[in-house]
Structure 1
């Protein structure tokens, strides 16, 4: 990453990057399908549907992401969100090395702000981060329903840049080129590219099969590699 300016803002994805939420999401989808008297899906199939927000996850699980009757989608999505709110912490855990990496970044670069930008609905995202104590590292946490668009649209990332600049208005503005998006899927890599930011891809997450085609700037195999990869 030496062809880029020094990082001044770090933005992290949540699912598959900071936390492994795969089992709780899969269980919630299959509970929804059972509620609708539909057959369950293998966890691996459901996991491949994660990354574009709750609505698209349910659309895919129902079999046709391009067309689902409004009434069916409303019922399915409503049940899913209700069930997931109650079960979002049954099996979810923070990846090994995440706290150590975040502490190392904060110790070495205390003036670099960090935030979360996920396509998960914002309330469970914030609740999960608070539960595990991740929230103390981040000045903001935005979800897939925080804006009118989701990743890979760059709106949320650009909003976070603006908010980070507002924290220190006397300093020179942080630019997209000084911003790094860390995530586990092509959605995150494309979000960074669409904003003019840099990207770090996490192969340990939920969608490693999508990363190569997206061509991230840097790839890591574990969270503990973040400090050296980001600030190389």
Structure 2
């Protein structure tokens, strides 16, 4: 039975299942990755998600390989570009991945623009369908943390600057839509507030957060945001 489709946004129809590529280039070889992509595509999945930091565990010598495999599969299998929805993500501030723009130290316009261009280059694509902020440019409890710690603040880049950089990429045809990942209800609503009050900033159309039998935090906060504001939840089956 083919995987059913739904409209994530105007002119963006995706399968209800999305294949993540986090293991491509680490746990999965290129041959194995292509086989997984083949099986998913033939089953009706047209939605594929990656990130500039993938695969994980993250290492300098493998960074970006998941995107490379995805782009190479599209090229070698001669998949029509309008038959697949490609999603990827820009890495937020990190003190560990120094090989990605020195950290990256922040999500300013320069980092976002460089990340988009690098992802397009690795995948050898003209545009990205859904481009997401992998995690916020501010302290939030994530990756297994459950309680907010007000003492762990750090200076963040204004949401206006992030949306402006993403908006310019949309205007240039480099990306079609934007989304958030590992966000909180506060962050989702702030992005929505800023986007609505600063036309023509691009609209946020999706939130990719952890959701599984053991991680149900979405149900107690983000579910209400997504319901009332019309966001699609692009759920990850584990927090990675």
Q: TM-score range by the shorter chain?
A: 0.3 to 0.5
Q: TM-score, normalised by structure 2?
A: 0.32
Higher relative contact order (CA 8 A, sep 6+): 1
Q: TM-score, normalised by structure 1?
A: 0.33
Task: Considering fraction of residues, name the structure with more helix.
Answer: 1
